[in-house]
Each structure stands twice: as structure tokens, then as C-alpha cells.
Amino acid sequence: MTRIRAWLPLLGALGCWAPPSAAQEAHENAPQVVRIEAVRDVDEVPYRRFYKGMQVFAEHRQLAPGAALRFRLYPRAQDASFAGLVVTLVAGKTELPVELDANQSFTLPMDARLAAQDAVVMTNKQDGTYAWRVDIRTPGLPPATRRLGDLRLECKVDMKGAELRRMVRDPSIMALVATGDPCTYRTFQNPFFADRPVFNVTLVHGARREAIAGEWMYANSARLLPEAGYALVDWGHARDRQYIPAIFDANWPDDTLLEFEYMDDPP
């Protein structure tokens, strides 16, 4: 017993052992409280992304000189519904309703103060319900058509500014964003959403006509992911709406039209 008492000061100094006090025993025997932080599952996008997209749009208006910039929500899944959809611009304690068009598109004010206040644009739905996209359309086009220059500007506004689409932004893509324009590279696969499930898309300029090949439809050319990874991307959902036009090909001028044949068109 004398030897143990002689070692106690040394053991205590080394932190190896010390007789527990009553307070220590009470603390160790007390029930442990585990704090779990709530995870936000809100469908929202920082306003500053939209603001940056507006800046890019203003810089490159020559691609679509007659068009206006809008943003649009597409269903990410077949069963995604727009019933009861509400979009709100939230800045601090101020909430402003965002008016939606019939196709779930909308505009936002260009306000640097909102970007500095960390404002957000949010829906009243669960995160991942919709795909947020840039929507640029030249007025006066024939029905069921899009203009290639509009799509080129949509890609640029998103990749160089708004970053709305969900995608795996690997280092090679981010390097292109930082130093150049990924939308001009054939290797950059940029699926667009059609208004409805699409059967065929044809590029038309003058007498030249060329249908988009099957590998560039329905996200067929995209790298397959397990279903668990679909939350990271948009192209894994609503694939019957998706197509990849040749926005990288300078042989097709900006005034090229894309003609759409939809799945629900009459025979």
C-alpha cells in the first residue's frame, strides 16, 4: 500500500491514473445528451447566382439580341407536380412573391443589394423536386422551335454565372469555366430540357437540315450513374425531355432553328 501511494503523484502527473472524485463520478454517470442539427430540405437557390447570370447575359446579348432573360422550373421526375407551387424571394425578414408564367418561368429584379444580403429564391416544395434553368427565347419564332443562339446564351449564362443546373463539376469542367467557355467544346455535354417529352429535334438553317442523332437524345451519351447518385445531377431525371444540340459547332449560325416533334403530337 505504501508503494502505491508513492506512485500516485507520478501517475497523476502523467495523466495515466488518478482516483476519481465524487464530481467526476457524477459527471460520468449522468445521461449523455446528443445534439442533432436539423438538416434543411428546402428547394432554394441563392439570389447572387441569378444576379451573376444577369451580368453574363448583359455582357453577351449579341447571341440573342431580341430575347429577354427569364428563369424556369422543370420537373426533375415524372411525378413532379406544379400544383400549389409558390416561388418567393426572401431577403432577411422580407418575403416577396415571384410571379410565375404559365410555363413556370419567372423574372427577378437585378439588385446588387439583394446579392449582398444573401437573399434566396425558394419554392414551397422539397429540395430536388424541380430543375432550375436559364430560359432565353427570341420572340416571334414559329411554334415548336427554338433558336440556337438563345441556347448558346443559356449555356453561357448558367456555366459562367448562375450555376443553376445540378451536375458533377469535375476539375476539367471547372478549369474550362475559369479560363474559357465550356459551351464551345464538343466534349462538354450540355443537356437541355424540351417543353414536353420530345420525339425528334432537327436543326434547320436555309436548305440545310440535320436531325440530332440518337446518342445526343434522352441523355444517352451521359455517363451512367447509379440511381443513388441522381440527386447530384439533373440529366438523370425526366430524360424523355432532354436533348443535346450542337451549340459548340460554329458551322451552325446563331439564327439556326431547332424544330421539335413531341411525343404527344397528333400522328
Higher pLDDT, 122 or 190: 122
CA distances from 18 to 10, 15, 123 (A): 10, 8, 58
C-alpha cell at position 153: 446564351
What mean pLDDT comes out for the span 103-114?
96
pLDDT attached to residue 11: 36
Higher pLDDT, 236 or 58: 58
pLDDT attached to residue 122: 97
143: which DSSP letter? T
Higher pLDDT, 221 or 259: 259
pLDDT attached to residue 206: 97
141: which DSSP letter? P
pLDDT attached to residue 79: 75
* Span 18-48, pLDDT tens digits: 444 554 454 455 444 433 333 457 899 999 9
- Residue 218 near residue 239 (C-beta atoms within 8 A): yes
235, HSE (Cβ side, Cα atoms, 13 Å): 20
Higher pLDDT, 101 or 219: 101
Higher pLDDT, 238 or 253: 253
Mean pLDDT (the chain, rounded): 83
Q: What percent of the chain has pLDDT over 90?
A: 60
What mean pLDDT comes out for the span 64-75?
96
pLDDT attached to residue 244: 93
* Span 111-159, pLDDT tens digits: 999 999 999 999 999 998 999 999 999 999 999 999 999 999 999 999 9
Q: What are 122's strand-pairing partners?
A: 44, 88
Angle made by CA atoms 69, 107, 41, in degrees to the nearest 5: 115
* Span 45-54, pLDDT tens digits: 999 999 999 9
What mean pLDDT comes out for the span 100-106?
96
pLDDT attached to residue 185: 86
Instruction: Write b or e for each residue in 130-164: b if 16 or more Cβ atoms lie within 10 A of its Cβ, otherwise e.
Output: bbbbbbbbbeeeeebebbbbbbbbbbbbbbbbbbb
C-alpha cell at position 195: 417543353
β-strands 42-46, 257-262 pairing: unpaired
pLDDT attached to residue 27: 46
β-strands 242-243, 192-193 pairing: antiparallel
pLDDT attached to residue 42: 84
* Model confidence at 84: pLDDT above 80: yes
